[in-house]
Structure 1
Amino acid sequence: MLNDQALEMIKPPFVKKQPRTLEHHGHQRIDDYYWLRDDSREDPEILSWLKAENDYTDAVMAPYAPLRESLYQELIGRIKKDDSTVPVLDNGYWYYTRYSGDDEYPVHARKAETLDNPEEVLLDGNKLAEGHEFFSIGNMDVSLNNQLLAWSEDTVGRRIYTVYFKNLLTGELLTDRLEQTTGDVVWAADNRTVFYIRQDPQTLLGYQVFRHTLGTEQKEDVLVYEEQDKSFYTGIDRTRDDSTLLINHDSTTQCAVSLLDATTPEGNFTAFLPREANHEYDIAKLDDWYYIRTNWQATNFRLMKVKKAQSADKSAWQEVIPHRDNVYLEDYLLFKDALVLNEKENGIPRIRVIQLSTGKEHQLSFDDPVFVAHFSANPSVDAPRVRIWYSSMTTPDTIYEYDLFTGEREQLKQKEVPGGFTPSNYASERLFVTATDGTEIPVSLVWRTDRFSKDGTNPLYQYGYGAYGYTIEPYFSANRLSLLDRGFVYAIAHIRGGQILGRPWYEAGRQQQKRNSFTDFIDVTRALAAEGYADKNKVFASGGSAGGLLMGAVVNMAPELYLGINADVPFVDVVTTMLDESLPLTTNEYDEWGNPNNKTDYDYMLSYSPYDNVQRQDYPNMLVTTGLHDSQVQYFEPAKWVAKLREYKTDDNKLLFYTNMEAGHGGASGRYQQQKELALEYAFFLSLLDQLQ
């Protein structure tokens, strides 16, 4: 191990300042590190600096290389080498994925009619990934006659996919190839036509839906829809009965759907309902009825239904499930004679089954006080049972199947955790923390019972996100055991901006209310230390992407609370990014963050943007990570932030920056390789604890 003197000789790489003046609304900002942006990702000076930062991280962490390797072995040791998903019956075939041995990627396979029949390999991810540092399958769709497979691949990490085709009867790869797509692909009923979405090569916004006929060149494909509003995302899908093709039009506060009969692929998509400001809805089809989950006069959503011919007339919509102020209607699923509802009340999931013919209902039962339950794969409306994915912070992921009419439950599979995991060694709790403004913030906690005392002595790992209405659920993580077994308390702060307490919880954490997300997280930290869940000198925090923005804001506002911070692919240069419409995702995000072209939004965003608010003050020890090919948060955001932090911070705490030169927003793609990045984070935090001793 290096001594203190040797460590002091390790210096971070030099990065030059090259001032650039940015002026908006009569206000000037000086960005000394704007030059670190290179959209081509080929500038030798920038690449050299990123590599030097990686080398610096390795040098600083060299004394803990054995710990890092030990953690990596722990993490991969909890991955079952030979594993498979529960087979799902769809259109006469049982579909599943399986892993073998040291393979990084799954094999996608199926069996005809019964599970006793021979296996048919659809795709072997390991073979497809050969020669690529990064590999990801985006989407797969089998033609309705079961004979053709369409799938998409990304081999860079930029989420730009190429679609390929395979004849499943002969195993032959077809010559058709569709470039620059979002990865979504859907078959029409004629088994020779597919629909896909092209991306803008600069913004990466999927905005054009094309129709492709097998055996033709991509340049001959027909444009069937083009999104003119850059604040919308475009998606394609098919109803569960395979009768109808869908184009989904989604923005933060407005959603719409267009329909096309799958048997007439050369027809025109028609709107289910003309777009309306602040109206969000999604649809599902059952026989001649369309069911609509809608926020029309229903903040937490309600369920309605209508015949297709009357869909554009909201006065014809019939209410099925009314709006409730205290219950969030999260999802629903239709079967021939059953409606299954996935709801949340006070942050706790509830799944109800209603028999359509009689109105009788029952609620599915679960075992833990704090848990997450969602629909699993349920492709058939004719199935007599519903599959549910269930997990808690002490219960590994479990697939249950419930009889729709008796409620009888069968466990089909529970994820195996090698290494001797015993659920009874761990305990979980949900509590509410009172924020500065009096709001009650839900917090999910887990710890190892024989390593925890509520006396303020345990280290704390606190995670948060708080954006897009996305809820960080209290799910099980085998990786988390490496912290729990070392005495950590693990906390998920369900801050405003998520949706655990319904739609109002999201509204209270976006745009002009965004700072609530940051103050909630800080208030949770203070409360957990004050109530004895954590040693106030041993608090660590972590977040990625929008959660990385959270980390950036928190360390500017309350740096003294944290011993260590991990900011993964952090969105930290908020104002500059949101002013640049050439960057991916910018225009789609105005309803989330605000539009800084408006002065009111500009001023508010500037008040919290982490990069713009770096101060001359002490900061916690920090590990910042990114991917060179990140399509969501460009690598230069965290790069600039690190450079500015190095210039401004007044402490001697560690600031490490690691760039995965072969990956994008999600990090490494293989199931084992992913664990190397997590091992670095855990080793970083544990090294800080070691230095406190």
Structure 2
Amino acid sequence: MNPIRNNPIIHAVLMMTLVACQPADNTQSANKSELETATMNNPKPPVAKKVPHKMSIHGDTRIDNYYWMRNDERKAPEVIQHLEAENSFTEATLAHTTYLQEKLFKEINGRIKKDDSTVPFKKNGYFYTQRYEGDKEYPIYLRQKDNLDAKEEILLDGNKMAEAHDYFAIGDYEVSPDNKILAYSTDTLSRRVYTIEFKSLNDDQSNVNDVLTQTNGQIIWANDNQHVFYIKKDPQTLLGYQVYRHQLGTPQSDDSLVYEETNSAFYTSLGKTKDDSIIYIYHDSTDSSGASILDANRPTDDFVLFAPLEDKHEYAFEKLNDTFYIRTNWQAKNFRIMKASGKAIHDKTQWQEVIPHNPDVYIRDIELFQNYLVINEKENGVNRINVINWDDNKQHNIQFEDPVFVAGFTNNTHTDTDTLRLYYSSMTTPASVYDYNMKKQEKTLLKQQEVLGEFHPNNYQSERIFVKARDGKQIPVSLVYRKDKFKQDGTNPLYQYGYGSYGATIDPYFSGSRLSLLDRGFVFAIAHIRGSQMLGRPWYEDGKMFNKKNTFNDFVDVTRELVAQKYGAKDRVFAAGGSAGGLLMGAVINQAPELYKAIAAHVPFVDVVTTMLDESIPLTTNEYDEWGNPNNEDSYQYMLSYSPYDQISRQDYPHILVTTGLHDSQVQYFEPMKWIAKLREYNTSSNTIVFKTDLEAGHGGASGRFKRNRDTALEYAFFADLAGIKE
């Protein structure tokens, strides 16, 4: 999860003016891009009014001239007009790329198979599938009883449901244990606040008219087919903190509050074990986690803690028969697997070790079967699926051909089988679903994402290299390029991507849209910087709190080394990141703006200190263990020293493209809005800074499988134009 912002009253109104940029330089060199020429000639950027707002803490005072841009209702005419003016400026400034944008948009969408479907999986007597049809934006959810030759039963048609909405998303859908009632959740504003509704799946049963509002979208059925559990969100912070039990046929006002999270450092979520015997509430903070459990056959009982919540202890569990298998970091920084009976789970000293801790191997996930334990792990950043036979304890790794890849578990709904279902992808291999026979050690490809057009995997090459950071640490980097377009001579444009927060790892995955860059000669690099868990838990801890600057330094050092090793041209380096990756972009251009021709920052979290000081804003107090608590002076000073908004200085900044959504509930629109205004004020170069707000969308951008590619096409055209590529 990533930061956001939200609250105070606006103290002043906006005044904006269109001002002319500096006159054109008649001596400009012939190799300037059209964007650079347009920037020098076109009088476009809106100038935001300054209204000084004083903020003092720890004897330090900051003045924020653009604090007034915050409007929690998102309706202030002055704010909306300014965002519209920014959109108009962006459109006018990038007008010369319209042809390329449209070409890229059609190209990217042209690779998508219009009539497509997911691999069916079986659960409780039915096969479930999602299907796309033609030019329709949203999936159709359907099921078939007993076998795939049976008649299709449409559960939900996202296209029909979305007709009356500018934005639409289905959050969750769950069928009751007796297969008679469907519960589903939808978001029509892009604030990640979902409404849960119910639908009868039997002709002889009356409609279920219950409606549950202000939820996080999750739905868990009790085994009596009459009760569901859901999480209600706080309307101010948008945090899901109350778990309710709802009985069908009763109003939401009668629902029973069964758990309320009073520690604002914890996130709350719901789950159910694979055997449907246990419902659990998962409690998750940055440095500790655990669960409370309930017998799914006794929904009116109380939840009880699986094991006590302890500072710095993280655990999660799976269940097989009467035994619980626990992934825990207790005396195991990179995690180990332990087990316990139902009577012993509450005391971790009674847990028994199954897989010992290995400081060189990070255990990511496990899957349980009657005859096998399967572990998803990483060693030195390389993904590995390890299968262990319960009977003889023999183990083997599933073999894959690519040098770097991502693999994991998907839709393993039964334990009494020798078949493991896997997803797999690499930077040159489209997303694939396999059934793997653990007994025979054989893989069967069920489906690989079909890439339409002239795509041939052998035309592309992926690599993994390590780059030495300034403090001596070795940073993994995943690379991909088109073989016939690449020469390691320092002439190719380079696109570098990164994230580096929350322990989230950007794995070396396949992207159909990315082919549009590779086919135009770009080298694409993922910098697996500290703050992720690419090299295990220590890698994350070395990029958070008072180690956060390692994240930014790593990214900059990777850029320098990729240029030194001639993977990219020093004057054609582009970088991108979103959300906390947008913070990364802001930090690196404050530190080393000369390295980058342009950057793209999407829904960027850039006003770190102001946001983290406001406890009314969603995702603030939950993340003190990620960034620090600025109410503490040492954290305040450290966070202030890298906060992109606070550290803007008078220097030459690269070309910048920033996007956001007006309804973003994670990183609120006014963070990038303020950032842009201040960057324009301080920037001493003639480079263009453009800002686009989707007035209908939130943190995830536009909804729909085709529409969302508009923003990708915009970014690619922005970069390609600056790289001198017009087609």
The CA deviation string for residues 441-494 of structure 1, in whole angstroms up to 9 with x for no partner, is: 000000000000000000000000000000000000010000000000000000
Q: Which amino acid aligns with 1:217?
A: P
TM-score (norm 1): 0.99
1:603 to 623, 637, 640: 637
Unaligned runs of 5+ in 2: 1-33
Matching residue within 412, 415, 431 for 1:381: 415
The answer to whether 1:49 aligns with 2:82 is: yes
C-alpha contact (below 8 Å) 1:166/1:172 kept by paired residues:
no
Counterpart contact for 2:39–2:93, Cα < 8 Å: no
Shift of 1:226: 0.4
> C-alpha separation between the residues in 2 aligned to 1:563 and 1:652?
12
Match in the other structure for 1:211: 245
2:546 is equivalent to residue 477 of structure 1: no
Return the alpha-carbon distance in structure 1 between the equivalents of residues 672 and 39 of structure 2.
Answer: 28
TM-score, normalization by structure 2: 0.94
CA deviation after TM superposition for structure 1 residue 352, in Å: 1.1
The equivalent position to 1:88 in structure 2, one of 114, 121, 126, is 121
CA contact (8 A) 2:290 2:307 kept: yes
- The equivalences for 1:215-234 within 5 A come to 215-234=249-268
Partner of 1:194: 228
Equivalent position of 2:679 in the other structure: 645
**Residue 361 of structure 1, CA deviation:** 1.8
2:185 paired residue number: 152
Q: Which residue of 2 aligns with 1:102?
A: 135
Q: CA deviation at 1:404?
A: 2.1
**SS across alignment from 2:87:** helix
Sequence identity percentage: 59
Aligned to 2:46, what secondary structure does the other structure show? coil
5 Å-filtered alignment, 1:573-584, equals 573-584=607-618
Tell me the CA shift for residue 622 of structure 1. 0.2
Match of 2:199 among 158, 166, 177: 166
Choose which of 444, 447, 450 in structure 1 pairs with 2:481: 447
CA displacement at 1:383 relative to structure 2: 2.8
The separation in 1 between residues aligned to 2:673 and 2:469, in whole angstroms, is 33
* Distance apart, 1:8 and its partner CA: 1.6
1:454-603 alignment runs, 5 A limit: 454-603=488-637
Cα offset, 1:357, TM superposition = 2.4
What amino acid is the match of 1:188? A
What RMSD over aligned residues (CA atoms) do the two structures have, in Å?
1.3
Measured after TM superposition, the shift of residue 407 of structure 1 is 1.2
Query: 1:10 touches 1:60 (CA, 8 Å); kept in 2?
Result: no
1:649–1:333: structure 2 CA closer, same or farther, 3 Å change rule? Answer: same
1:643-664 CA distance string (max 9 Å, x none)? 0001111111010000000000
State the 1:384 CA deviation: 2.4
Q: Distance in 1 between matches of 2:168 and 2:545?
A: 35
Per-residue deviation at 1:7? Answer: 6.0
1:7, 1:60 within 8 Å by CA — same for their partners in 2?
no
- Which runs of structure 1 show a deviation greater than 4 angstroms over 4 or more consecutive aligned residues? 1-7
The equivalent position to 1:121 in structure 2, one of 137, 154, 160, is: 154
1:432 paired residue number: 466
Equivalent residue for 1:673, pick from 703, 707, 725: 707
Contact kept? 2:36, 2:687, Cα under 8 Å: no
Shift of 1:336: 1.3
Superposition pairs of residues 328-367 of structure 1, within 5 angstroms: 328-367=362-401
Count of matched residue positions in the alignment of Structure 1 and Structure 2: 693
Q: Secondary structure at the match of 1:690?
A: coil
**Residue by residue, what CA displacement relative to the aligned partner does 1:623-654 show, whole Å, maximum 9, x if unpaired?**
00000000000100000000000111111101
**Greater displacement, 405-414 / 117-126:** 405-414
Aligned residue for 2:277? 243
Is the partner of 2:47 in helix, strand or coil? coil
Q: Which runs of 5+ in 1 are unaligned?
A: none
Q: How far off is 1:6 after superposition?
A: 9.0
Task: Kindly indicate whether residue 173 of structure 2 is the aligned counterpart of residue 140 of structure 1.
Answer: yes
Secondary structure of the structure 2 residue equivalent to 1:609: coil
More RCO (CA 8 Å, sep 6+): 2
Deviation string, structure 1 residues 54-108 (Cα, Å, up to 9, x no partner): 0100000111111110010011101110000000011111001000000000001
SS at match of 1:309: coil
Matches within 5 A, 1:64-75: 64-75=97-108
State which drifts further: 330-339 or 565-574: 330-339
In the TM superposition, residue 173 of structure 1 has moved relative to its aligned partner by 4.7
State which of 323, 326, 340 in structure 2 corresponds to 1:289: 323
The answer as to whether partners of 2:282 and 2:291 remain within 8 angstroms in 1 is yes
3-state SS in 2 of match to 1:14? strand
Question: What do residues 531-553 of structure 1 show as CA deviations (whole Å, max 9, x unaligned)?
Answer: 01000000000000000000000
Greater shift after overlay, 398-407 or 234-243? 398-407
- Could you tell me how far apart the structure 1 residues matched to 2:599 and 2:190 are? 25
Partner letter of residue 503 of structure 1?
R
Query: In the alignment, what sits opposite 1:183?
Result: 217
Contact 1:10 1:59 in 2 (8 A): no
Aligned to 2:296: 262
Instruction: State the secondary structure of the residue aligned to 2:723.
Output: helix
Aligned 8 A contact 2:720 2:726 in 1: no
- CA distance in 2 between counterparts of 1:28 and 1:669 reads 41
Going from structure 1 to structure 2, the CA distance change for 1:132 and 1:575 (only over 3 Å counts) comes to same
